[in-house]
Structure 1
Amino acid sequence: MRVVITGGGTGGHIYPALAVARGIKDRHRQAELLYIGTESGLESDLVPKACISFSAITAVGLKRKMSLHNLTVPWKVTGGMLRAAKLLRDFSPRVVVGTGGYVCGPVVLAAALLKIPTLIHEQNAFPGITNRILSRFADRVAVTFSESFKYFPKRAKLKLTGLPVRTEILAVDREKARASLKLSPEIKFLLSFGGSQGARSINQAVPVLMSNFSNDPGVHILHITGPRGYDEFIEANKSICMDNHGNITAVPYLYNMPEALAAADLVICRAGAATLAELTARGLPGILIPYPYASENHQEHNARALVKRDAAEMILDRELSGEALYEKVKELLANPSRLNKMSEASKKQGHPTALEEILDCIEEII
């Protein structure tokens, strides 16, 4: 079985694509995969490292404001479609799977014209413009949030699957994880981070939280600053990071994130789709601080989907302060029943079988 996978630009599009690729290979050992992306996108680096064949096409997107750039888009998209069509004819896939980003447009449209079955996956509660257009041509549209249904055309064939999460996220045992981190059962473990590169606004708010809990042996805080913000964070908060009861930890990056998530009682983070998929898969309550500059403000839409179901609290980035964050955390830690209800609600929103459901959809359209 031959399968083409496409999706690019950011990790939010690429990592789900790679998860689907791994799932296809696990289910069909003899499957042949071709990933179509762009040379300028992150996929050109990540896909070859995952030992998947990679080919590039030209793909661009429209600017939201009127510009001369937009006049060149139809020409470049047409060139991308012609290149994609040639790759598809040469490879002869049984199905094309797209996970979003500009590159999906030419590839999925070319596949539709060539009568090759197509599936697209939308990660966010507010769908990207590319997937909204492609949903008119795709044989199946897999979505992460039910909130996204209303943004697609009525004729789109939608399926709520959730977002695939790394297998190691679900595999870690909570008790073993807490033992590894030297956390006794009664300690409340707070995990905070702003993504792989960190988040400056969160780095600026967390010290107030750390300062207020630095002498509380019943609370342990682990904050991930991001590599670029670590030195600045430590320099500004030496006394907090050094003068405590060993319950305050700041690191630039965390390689054992699955273990930390398994051990956590409360998570403070952005609201990217992949992050929320991991939180809900583990049934973790969160204080979500959506990244305000995400395209189409999709992180706030993601966060509101969980807040509406009482699975999380939200603080908008423009309203974030150390005091506001501390008050929110203090309120939740003082109310264990509220935390438990949030955890249960989070678990209900999780889709631990998302990958299997997407693979089933692929087989159905084939």
Structure 2
Amino acid sequence: MKIIVSGGGTGGHIYPALALIRTIKKEYPKTQFLYIGTEKGLEADIIRRENIPFETINITGFKRSLSLENLKTIFRFFKGVRDSKKLLKKFNPDAVVGTGGYVCGPVVYAAAKKRIPTIIHEQNSIPGLTNKFLSRYVDKVAVCFEQVREYFPESKVVLTGNPRASEVIGKKKMGVIQSFGLRDDLPIALIFGGSRGARPINEVVIKSLSQLSTKPYQVLYVTGESHYDEVRKEAELFGEFNNIVILPFIHNMQELLASVDVVIGRAGATSLAEITALGLPSILIPSPYVTNNHQEKNAEALVEKGAAYMLTEKELTSQRLIEAIDRILLDESERTNMGNASKKLGIQDASNRLFDVIKELTNNR
């Protein structure tokens, strides 16, 4: 089988695509892949490092206001369609999968017009513009949240979950907690604001360090590399902590997630997929700086089921954060109930589900 995958702009579009590719390659090593992205996107470095064949087209996203740049984007889109058709003809795929971001617009559209089986994958509870547009042309729309069904043609929607979730299962290893200087006989709260960190979260956590240092649980606090030096200086004013470890970045995050008791951080689709696959309770602080405020909607999907607490940035204070952590880590019953609710929302075999959709479409071709 030959599959084209396209998606880019953010890790939330790229890493699910990578997880899908890895799963398929593991079970069907002879499957050939071509990834189509942009040269300026994160995918250019990430996909090439994985040694996956990679081609680019030139395309930009639409501005959400009246702009002459949008006219240029329309021209780039149609050129992108022409360029995509050339790549499709050369590679001759059995299916094309778009995982989001404006780059997959012309790629998936071109494939649909050539009657190649097409699937888009929507990670969030509110779809992006590209996926809303493509949903009119593709064969199937794979989703991670039931709430997003209403935005797409019902007959095309299939709940698969996020392939990224499949990669955290079975990652728990002995000695991971000790490698961070923590004990394995006390509960652990992981606080992080994403790979780059989040200043509003850091500001509140710094104010909370003194109280957190007196708690009968541990805190692993990941600041983001750009914020680490500043946070470290602030933290040193409080002295040494026996139960708090502060780090700029964690490379083996999947192994760590499998070893903690609660996660405090943003509500990106990939993070939530990992959290629910592992059945972890969480305290979600949605980023208000994302399109359509989709992180808050993502968080609400977990809160409604009792799997998470949510604190918006406007609500976030040191006291509220500490109270939320206490409610989970100092009450074993609450922690268990939230974990069970989280587990029910998780889809552990998302990659296989998505591949099943691909196989079904190609078999019916």
TM-score, normalization by structure 2 = 0.95
Q: Give CA-to-partner distance per residue, 1:172-208, whole Å, 9 cap, x none.
A: 3377645665655651211100011111111111123
Bigger shift: residues 178-187 or 315-324: 178-187
Q: Residue 330 of structure 1: CA displacement?
A: 2.4
What does 1:88-99 align with in structure 2 at a 5 Å threshold?
Answer: 88-99=88-99
Instruction: Give the aligned partner of residue 291 of structure 1.
Output: 287
1:268 maps to which of 264, 270, 288: 264
Query: Does the aligned pair in 1 maintain the 2:188–2:262 contact within 8 Å?
Result: yes
2:250 maps to which of 247, 254, 258: 254
For 1:30 and 1:318, how far apart are their aligned partners in 2?
A: 51
2:80 is equivalent to residue 80 of structure 1: yes
Q: Give CA-to-partner distance per residue, 1:104-162, whole Å, 9 cap, x none.
A: 1101110011111011100001111111111111111110111110111344x111111
Q: Give CA-to-partner distance per residue, 1:10-63, whole Å, 9 cap, x none.
A: 111111111112222223211221111111111111111111111111222211
For 2:313 and 2:57, how far apart are their aligned partners in 1?
A: 36
2:224 is equivalent to residue 234 of structure 1: no
Bigger shift: residues 338-347 or 24-33: 24-33
For 2:132 and 2:166, how far apart are their aligned partners in 1?
A: 29
Q: Give CA-to-partner distance per residue, 1:261-317, whole Å, 9 cap, x none.
A: 122111101000000111111100000001111112111111011011110000001
Specify the SS of the correspondent of 2:209.
helix
- Equivalences, count: 362
Specify the SS of the correspondent of 2:141.
strand
Amino acid at match of 1:215: T
Instruction: Give the aligned partner of residue 193 of structure 2.
Output: 194
Query: Does the aligned pair in 2 maintain the 1:208–1:326 contact within 8 Å?
Result: no
Query: Does the aligned pair in 1 maintain the 2:166–2:351 contact within 8 Å?
Result: no
Query: Does the aligned pair in 1 maintain the 2:166–2:349 contact within 8 Å?
Result: no
What does 1:17-56 align with in structure 2 at a 5 Å threshold?
Answer: 17-56=17-56
2:240 maps to which of 240, 243, 250: 243
Instruction: Give the aligned partner of residue 70 of structure 1.
Output: 70
For 2:65 and 2:183, how far apart are their aligned partners in 1?
A: 54
Q: Give CA-to-partner distance per residue, 1:305-338, whole Å, 9 cap, x none.
A: 1011110000001221222212222233343212
Query: Does the aligned pair in 2 maintain the 1:60–1:103 contact within 8 Å?
Result: yes
Specify the SS of the correspondent of 2:225.
coil
Query: Does the aligned pair in 2 maintain the 1:175–1:263 contact within 8 Å?
Result: no
Query: Does the aligned pair in 2 maintain the 1:280–1:346 contact within 8 Å?
Result: yes
Amino acid at match of 1:353: D
Specify the SS of the correspondent of 1:237.
helix
Q: Residue 165 of structure 1: CA displacement?
A: 2.3
Amino acid at match of 2:146: S
What does 1:1-366 align with in structure 2 at a 5 Å threshold?
Answer: 1-155=1-155, 157-165=156-164, 169-173=168-172, 177-178=176-177, 186-216=185-215, 218-240=216-238, 242-244=239-241, 246-366=242-362
Query: Does the aligned pair in 1 maintain the 2:209–2:235 contact within 8 Å?
Result: no
Q: CA RMSD, aligned part only?
A: 1.7
Q: Percent identity?
A: 46
Q: Which runs of 5+ in 2 are unaligned?
A: none
Specify the SS of the correspondent of 2:314.
helix
Bigger shift: residues 178-187 or 301-310: 178-187
Q: Residue 210 of structure 1: CA displacement?
A: 2.4
Amino acid at match of 2:222: I
Q: Residue 90 of structure 1: CA displacement?
A: 1.2
Specify the SS of the correspondent of 1:29.
coil
Q: Give CA-to-partner distance per residue, 1:203-249, whole Å, 9 cap, x none.
A: 11112332112133x21111000100000001112133x423x2111
TM-score, normalization by structure 1 = 0.94
Amino acid at match of 1:37: G
Bigger shift: residues 307-316 or 39-48: 39-48
Query: Does the aligned pair in 2 maintain the 1:267–1:286 contact within 8 Å?
Result: yes
Amino acid at match of 1:235: K
For 1:166 and 1:331, how far apart are their aligned partners in 2?
A: 26
Amino acid at match of 1:280: T
The change in CA–CA distance for 1:168 and 1:105 in structure 2 (over 3 A counts) is closer
Specify the SS of the correspondent of 2:258.
helix
Specify the SS of the correspondent of 1:121.
strand
Query: Does the aligned pair in 1 maintain the 2:268–2:295 contact within 8 Å?
Result: yes
Q: Which runs of 5+ in 1 are unaligned?
A: none
The change in CA–CA distance for 1:28 and 1:233 in structure 2 (over 3 A counts) is same
Query: Does the aligned pair in 1 maintain the 2:3–2:32 contact within 8 Å?
Result: yes
Query: Does the aligned pair in 2 maintain the 1:281–1:352 contact within 8 Å?
Result: yes
